[in-house]
Amino acid sequence: MGDHHHGPAKGLSRWLYTTNHKDIGTMYLWFSFAMFLLGGAFAMVIRAELFQPGMQLVEPGFFNQMTTLHGLVMVFGAIMPSFVGLANWLIPMMIGAPDMALPRMNNWSFWILPPAFLMLASTLLMEGGAPAFGWTFYAPLSTTYAPPSVTFFIFAIHILGVSSIMGSINIIATVMNMRAPGMTYMKMPLFVWTWLITAFLLVAVMPVLAGAVTMMLMDIHFGTSFFSAAGGGDPVLFQHIFWFFGHPEVYIIILPAFGVISQIIPAFSRKPLFGYASMVYATAAIAFLSFIVWAHHMYTVGMPVAGELFFMYATMLIAVPTGVKVFNWVTTMWRGAMTFETPMLFSIGFLVLFTIGGFTGLMLSIAPADFQYHDTYFVVAHFHYVMVAGAVFSMTAAIYFWLPKWTGRMYNETMGKVHFWVSFIGFNITFFPQHFVGLAGMPRRIPDYALQFADFNMMSSIGAFIYGASQLLFLYNVIAAIVAGEKVSDEKVWDGAEGLEWTLPSPPPYHTFETPPKIEEQPAH
Amino acid sequence: MLNARALAATALLPLAANAQNQVNMSTGVSEAGAVITDLGVEIYDLHMLIFWICVVIGLGVFGVMLYSIYAHRKSKGVEPSQFHEHTGVEIAWTIVPFFILIGMAVPATSTLLEVYDNDDAEMSILVTGYQWKWKYEYLDADGENVAFFSNLATSQEQIYNTDTKGENYLLEVDEPLVIPVDTKVRFLITANDVIHSWWVPEIAVKRDAIPGFINEAWTRVLAEGVYRGQCTELCGAYHGFMPVEVHVVSRDEFDDWMAAKKGAAAADAALAATELSVDELMARGEDVYNASCLACHGANGEGGLGNAIAGSAIAMGGLDSHLNVIVNGVAGTAMQAFGAQLSDVDVAAVTTYQRNAFGNNTGDVVQASDVVSYKEG
């Protein structure tokens, strides 16, 4: 035994200096959960103000700060880091590697996140208030007409981008170089595949976002006019650049979620994933298409009709590989022997609600109809079905699924099931009626609304409070499991679970797979 | 899952009985059964076509899934099958959706081409978005353009819940856009500051208003009536408070309205040449203040998004610097150049009002001629 066989250091320095993928994964997960609660608190302010028509609790300007920060914190603070945390924990254990390929960079890519969000949150206390231009920060509202705090927002985005790029490079390097002998690409678990593809998307588009905010910085402070027609620039250019980042970003969020679901549904169906290879190809196809559909977010900006048609057709095509995914999951369940523990419940919830989000996505792709949907609550409902019932439900399923492996302790199953049902019902009460108000003509991002939208908005707010409260139950269940959960003796935990991580003890030792495992002939996906 | 569905359905029931809760897109047909716009009907039909295709596919997918959840559970003692991969099935579920998509793309393309057919318009209206109001300018072949601003008419008391909310709460304006029925109207849409978006759901027109660029859209409204909409692109603090109200009237009514507008513009010009009394200026100034200044500077000049006017050094200081702020705006802030938005009489009135209301009591009286000479420098 060499001296690298040590356990973790003691105290704070363990977390500050750690290069261990499990520690870093844990920090990412806790950080993202904290951000989830913060972003959720902003959402509660939004829903409380929208509970009734009229201005009640906050001023319109502050309301806009809430919608902006809610979006930014949830996308960049909660969902993205949570999946990076999952990748840190799982990818080395799934491919039989001792750690991530670039452990020091791993530490750095986590530790620059908290200061970035501290800076972003501090804008709330600044004169002129926090950014109030929406998470999509369209110029010139975010440049000429922005509060002074926009500069801090720009630097926060820069840091988040650096963090994401470093995290992605690490994942690519790990998957390409650290696989155990015999772990060929087509034997990798789908979660690893989806993350590999996601990491390439991130490396491709985060610099584009950095470019967009840098151009904003120049426009604001150095007299350039990238986004101002008065100086020869173009506000629509901003939207093209933003969505060239923004649309792949949507898949950056959802592809790892697909990976999670592709691990969990086979486990609880006790049956292999129906079409492993076609799932890999579908993921790659979605990633490719994500680069050529960005302007479907901009059907109303006045693009020429030829451009409009191109983006409409390309967007509709995404339904094909996405359909392949959904059909695969359903066929995997078919004639399995299913049980319905909490991870499976959340995965089925994902499957149903994400599919609904996919349908509304298809509706939104139809350009002439989008002239009626664009920037209404119909869009809000659509992307919450994809982001919350898609990404967040899958993340929740992942936590319940792997928590016993990570901690060696079981969560409370009954409480987990209650969490699922309360979340599922609360979510639908919140977001289903938003389809109705959107179609009926309610624009998004408004602090007050016409009277015909009152009933559904009140319903939506009640649902949001229920959904929000159910997350506290989740927090309690996780902490209770870590502190005093029933000990797990079995390495597999779930009898249908397949993959290298389930060959390790529960909890796994601080360092795992220092000697590469032997990969069996049959793929372990 | 069934439980959740049932619960959600029960929760929806009391609302479903209330006809006020519209759950779908505007059909493009008025309550009386008249077609509002052909394009609106076409878009609604397209929307419903895609919707029903999704419903059918959804029922299929969820049906298979629910049956599987019901029948293929371990508690029933089933042995899991181990089948996987079937080239035929996988090719089928890739190819069949592709053909369904083609079936959607064909009607979508033809509708989109109609949306873009801006030719042969009988009249053109320049629509300009401002923070937070719309300006409408009727482009006249003889150069006699008629232009006016359209502000939110809902009172602050209604918004802040001290007064009962009216039927058209937040959807009513002081001066609506008026267009003649059965006339192809072309809208040229742009903005003065940030991006806005001009939308009227019932006539199916939505187009972004982008500063420095001009977008085109058109409509031919077949049914007279009042149609309401809102700005749909986040444009700052009061984005939720800049509605669109369109009155579609008969050709004759439209001509009368247009003649009256031109007459009023002439009267305004005449007024600018006369001296107004303090009371007249104060009354007019209060109206202008409430429409143009109040949102940022507060009902009592106490400030808000903008600086306070009560006790302000600018409103109580030299007249030229006060007029400078009102006429030219303040660069880099939300304070706009109102010299281009308000008539000289209105600038004079609101300046007088600001210098004497809210306890400012400077006693200064500003006439339109003062504004003209200030502008001429």
Q: How many CB atoms lie within 10 A of CB B119?
A: 8
Q: What is the pLDDT of residue A4?
A: 53
CB contact under 8 A, B61 and A330: yes
Query: Could A229 and B213 be called an inter-chain contact, meaning their C-beta atoms sit closer than 8 Å?
Result: yes
Instruction: Tell me the backbone φ, ψ of residue A63, rounded to 5 degrees.
Output: -55, -45
pLDDT at residue A28 is higher than 70: yes
Q: How far apart are CA B373 and CA A3, in angstroms?
A: 88
The residue in chain B having the minimum alpha-carbon distance to the alpha carbon of residue A371 is B206
Phi (first) and psi of residue A51, to 5 degrees: -55, -40
- For residue B296, the model assigns a pLDDT of 83
Residues B40/B28, Cβ–Cβ less than 8 Å: yes
- Specify the pLDDT at position B125: 97
- pLDDT above 60: residue B14: no
Q: Report the share of chain B in percent with pLDDT over 70.
A: 94
Interface test with A, best of B18, B46, B64, B65 (most A CBs within 10 A): B65
Which amino acid appears at position A478 of this protein? V
Answer yes or no: do A366 and B57 touch at CB < 8 A.
no
> What pLDDT was estimated at residue B141?
78
Q: Is B258 on the interface with A (CB under 8 A)?
A: no
Query: What confidence tier does A5 reach under pLDDT thresholds 50, 70, 90?
Result: low
Span A32-54, pLDDT tens digits: 999 999 999 999 999 999 999 99
B236/A446 CB distance under 8 A = no
Q: Which three-class secondary structure state does DSSP give residue A139? A: coil
Residue to substitute from A313, A315, A362, interface B, most B β-carbons within 10 A: A362
B102–chain A Cβ distance below 8 A for any pair:
no
pLDDT tens digits, A310-358: 999 999 999 999 999 999 999 999 999 999 999 999 999 999 999 999 9
Residue B336 pLDDT: 82
Q: Which of the residues of A are catalytic?
A: 70, 99, 135, 163-164, 247, 249, 251, 262, 296-297, 322, 325, 444
| Domains, in order of start, for chain B | 26-115 (1.10.287), 123-268 (2.60.40.420), 273-376 (1.10.760.10)
B20 → chain A, closest CA residue? A452
Its CATH architecture, for the domain A16-503, is: Up-down Bundle (1.20)
Cα–Cα distance for residue pair B68/B56, rounded to 1 Å:
18
Q: Backbone dihedral region of A302: left (phi > 0), alpha (psi from -120 to 50 degrees) or beta?
A: left
* DSSP tag of A8: P
Q: What is the pLDDT of residues A415-450, one digit of tens each?
A: 999 999 999 999 999 999 999 999 999 999 999 999
Taking residues A266-281, report their average pLDDT: 95
Q: Averaged over A382-394, what is the pLDDT?
A: 96
Taking contacts as CB-CB distances below 8 angstroms, the residues of chain A near B50 are 362-363, 366, 369
Encode pLDDT of A203-226 as tens digits. 999 999 999 999 999 999 999 999
Please say if the pLDDT value at position B143 is more than 80: no
Rounded CA-CA distance B263/B237 in Å is 36
* Residues forming beta bridges with residue B209, ordered by sequence position: B196
Amino acid letter, A303? M
Quick check: B276 pLDDT over 90? Answer: no
Do B52 and B103 form a contact (C-beta atoms < 8 A)?
Answer: no
CA–CA gap between residue B192 and residue B169 (Å, rounded): 26
Nearest neighbour of B170 by CB, restricted to A278, A445, A450: A450
Distance set, CA A34 to CA A1, A11, A38, A471 (Å): 38, 21, 6, 11
Q: Is the pLDDT of residue A124 over 80?
A: yes
The whole-angstrom separation of Cα A31 and Cα A78 is 8
Cβ A330–B64 below 8 Å, yes or no?
yes
User: Is B22 within 8 Å of A440 when comparing Cβ atoms?
Assistant: yes
**Residue A9: which pLDDT band, with cuts at 50, 70 and 90?**
confident
- A430: helix, coil or strand? helix
Question: What is the distance between the alpha carbons of residues A167 and B339, in angstroms, rounded to a whole number?
Answer: 53
Calculate the alpha carbon distances from A387 to A75, A351, A381 in Å.
9, 13, 10
Residue A11, number of CB atoms within 10 A of its CB = 8
Any idea what DSSP says for residue A391?
Answer: I
Contacts with A, B 160-199, CB within 8 Å: 160-161, 165, 167-171, 193-195, 197, 199
Q: Which residues in chain B touch residue A132, judged by CB atoms under 8 angstroms apart?
A: 236-237
pLDDT value of residue B267:
84
Q: For A307, which residue in chain B has the nearest alpha carbon?
A: B112
Q: What does the H/E/C string look like for chain B? A: CHHHHHHHHHHHHHHHCCCCCCCCCCCCECCCCCECCHHHHHHHHHHHHHHHHHHHHHHHHHHHHHHHHHHCEHHHCCCCCCCCCCHHHHHHHHHHHHHHHHHHHHHHHHHHHHHCCCCCCCEEEEEEEECCEEEEEEECCCCCCEEEEECECCCHHHHCCCCCCCCCCCCCECCCEEEECCCEEEEEEEECCCCEEEEEHHHCEEEEECECCCEEEEEECCCCEEEEEEECCCCCCCHHHCEEEEEEECHHHHHHHHHHHHHHHHHHHHHHCCCCCHHHHHHHHHHHHHHHCHHHHCCCCCCCCCCCCCCCHHHHCCHHHHHHHHHHCCCCCCCCCHHHCCCHHHHHHHHHHHHHCCCCCCCCCCCHHHHHHHHHC
Tell me what the pLDDT averaged over chain B comes to.
89
Q: What is the DSSP string of A61-98?
A: HHHHHHHHHHHHIIIIIIIHHHHHHHHHHHHHHHHT-S
Chain B partners within 8 Å of A270 (Cβ)? 74, 80
Amino acid present at B62? F
As a whole-number percent, the residues of chain A with pLDDT over 90 amount to 95
Which pair of tokens denotes residue B140? 């006249």
- Of A166-180, A392-406, B15-29, B258-272, the range with the lowest mean pLDDT is B15-29
Nearest CB to A229 within list B22, B105, B211 = B211
Alpha helices for A270-390 (secondary structure H): 276-289, 305-317, 319-333, 342-365, 367-373, 377-386
Q: Give the mean pLDDT of A471-477.
A: 97
- Which segment of A241-255, A485-499, B261-275 scores lowest on mean pLDDT? B261-275
Q: Please tell me the predicted confidence (pLDDT) of residue A521.
A: 62
What pLDDT shows up at residue A6?
65
The candidate with the shortest Cα–Cα distance to A477, out of A412, A427, A422, is: A412
pLDDT score, position A312: 97
Q: Which residues in A lie closer than 8 A to residue B80 (C-beta atoms)?
A: 269-271, 335-337
User: Helix, strand, or coil here: A408?
Assistant: coil
Residue B231, strand partner residues: B198
Look at residue B10 in the predicted model and tell me its pLDDT.
45
Judged by a CB distance cut-off of 8 A, whether residue A281 touches chain B is: no
Instruction: Please tell me if residue A320 touches chain B, with a CB cutoff of 8 Å.
Output: yes
User: What would the mean pLDDT of B293-320 be, rounded to a whole number?
Assistant: 86
Tell me which of B2, B234, B330 to substitute to probe the interface with A (most A C-beta atoms closer than 10 Å): B234
- Asked if residue B132 has a cis previous peptide bond (ω within 30° of 0), the answer is yes
- Residues B4, A428: C-beta atoms closer than 8 Å: yes
- Which residue, among B96, B95, B44, has the nearest Cα to A366 in the 3D structure? B44
Partners of B135 in beta bridges: B128, B149
Burial A248-261 (b: 16+ CB within 10 A, else e): bbbbbbbbbbbbbb
How far is the C-alpha of A219 from the C-alpha of A217, rounded, in Å? 5
User: Between B9 and A197, whose confidence is greater?
Assistant: A197
| Model confidence band, residue B203 (pLDDT cutoffs 50, 70, 90) | very high
pLDDT for A106 equals 96
Residue A497's CB: how many other CB atoms inside 10 A?
21
Partner A contacted by B369 (CB < 8 A): no
Distances (CA, A) of A125 to A63, A69, A148: 15, 13, 12
Give the distance from residue A351's alpha carbon to the nearest chain B alpha carbon, in angstroms.
9
Query: B8 pLDDT band (50/70/90 cuts)?
Result: very low
- Secondary element (H or E) of residue A487: strand A486-487
Q: Cis check for the bond before A115: say yes or no (omega within 30 of 0).
A: no
CA–CA gap between residue B75 and residue A125 (Å, rounded): 56
pLDDT of residue A311: 97
Cis peptide before A266 (omega within 30 of 0): no
What is the tens place of the pLDDT at every residue in B69-100?
999 999 998 889 988 889 999 999 999 999 99
The neighbour count for residue B32, using CB atoms within 10 Å, is 7
Mean pLDDT of A243-259: 96
pLDDT band, very low/low/confident/very high, at B342 (cuts 50, 70, 90): confident
